[in-house]
Structure 1
Amino acid sequence: MAAKKVLISGCSGGGKSTLLTAFGALAYPIVPEPGRRIVDGEMRGNGKALPWVDLHEFARRAIDMAQADLAAADNLKGFVFFDRGLIDAAVACEFAGGASYRSLLGDTRHYAQPVFLAPPWPEIFVTDHARRHSFDDATAEYQRLTRAFSELGYDCCELPKAPVQERVAFVLNTLGIA
């Protein structure tokens, strides 16, 4: 079976990375969030492609990284779980004043159905060195993403606000692999 690329997207600070870590512990291939990898790299150097410095450049780099991640996943088999990805980056690029996400993505469906969305969850939202925006900003981003996924023809499946093991079971049951 070719790789089935499962996207976990949604609200920043909504528990996506924790969920992906749990899938990795179950021996599923996981692809870390492009944005976090870019921020970590930029902060180790003197980079300017940080979302709070140059959101457009940050988003362009995230698009390139997400495209490379998708291509690398073509060599895998079974379910591959992505923490954010190409669509998130394209929506951020448009928000930053760049090209529309529709023109950046074309008509290709890059991920399997459904896309899982982590909803805004204020009880677990925290800021850190790489997440400097407010909960309100994260909620607005969630709304942009939800609209984009719908417009692109993706079925969106909202993750429950529940402990990580319940979220894992929810995703696996929804995918029919539990």
Structure 2
Amino acid sequence: MCQMPCQFSWPYTHYFTQTKNKEKILNKLIVFTGGPGAGKTSVIEQLKTQGFICAPETGRHVIQMQVANHGSALPWNDKQAFRDEMTKEEVSNYRSFNVRQGDVFFDRSIVDVYGYSKLEQLPISHELITHCQTLRYHSQVFIFPPWASIFSNDEERKQDFSEAVATYQQMVDAYHKFGYQLIEVPKMSVEDRVAFILGSVIE
């Protein structure tokens, strides 16, 4: 994968975590992160049409399931319960897709759950930290910067743009904390973003 640095306009600190007993990565588990409404899901959908294996965004799935079942684990109702449901799904996603052959693209990861917890000032369990340390993805992560001109919200995404920017900043800190390198995806068309990503994912 290319060594392009991620550029930021505010100070940040690199954190690196040395861990033991990491789960063996059988393929390249390639993560997309960033704030909401930055274009991650559009790129995921385009990759699917090109035949790539993609793991869904757990946050949206949790919301859809909770609404369908009249549950309360929703980000606008019970943030901690919502976070805990996302944690379960991210762990399940990781273990399901890690046994597949070939590369897998993830619309967020367990590290995003940690970042969400920091953003919302939720208590963070030792279990969540351990998951972030041991469920390892490819060391280079694609981050989608805030992009006001394409940002929109809907029934499942209720954040405004300022919250999207704050989420982005938390994801920067979270991924650096757990030793990942960030590659910023340029603000281009979906097709050009896909080409950029595929051109960066090399053996």
Bin of the TM-score, shorter chain as denominator length: over 0.9
Unaligned runs of 5+ in 2: 1-24
Task: Count residues with an aligned counterpart.
Answer: 177
Q: Is the 8 A contact 1:94 1:100 kept in 2?
A: no
Q: Aligned pair 1:66/2:90, yes or no?
A: yes
Greater RCO (Cα-Cα under 8 Å, separation 6 or more): 2
Match of 1:92 among 116, 119, 129: 116
Could you state the TM-score of these two structures normalised by the residue count of structure 1?
Answer: 0.93
Q: Deviations over 1:123-156 (max 9, x none)?
A: 0110100000111011101101101111211000
Match of 2:100 among 42, 66, 76: 76
State the one-letter code of the partner of 1:76: R
Distance 1:45 1:12 in 2: 24
RMSD between aligned residues: 1.8
Could you state the TM-score of these two structures normalised by the residue count of structure 2?
Answer: 0.82
Runs of 4+ with deviation above 4 angstroms: none
Map of 1:131 onto structure 2: 157
Greater C-alpha radius of gyration: 2
Q: Is the 8 A contact 2:114 2:129 kept in 1?
A: no
Deviation at 1:120, TM superposition (A): 0.2
Q: Is the 8 A contact 1:33 1:82 kept in 2?
A: yes
Identity %: 29
Range with bigger deviation, 90-99 or 25-34: 90-99
Deviation at 1:75, TM superposition (A): 1.9
Deviation at 1:2, TM superposition (A): 3.0
1:21-32 alignment to 2 at 5 Å? 21-32=45-56
Question: Which structure has the highest helix share of the two?
Answer: 1
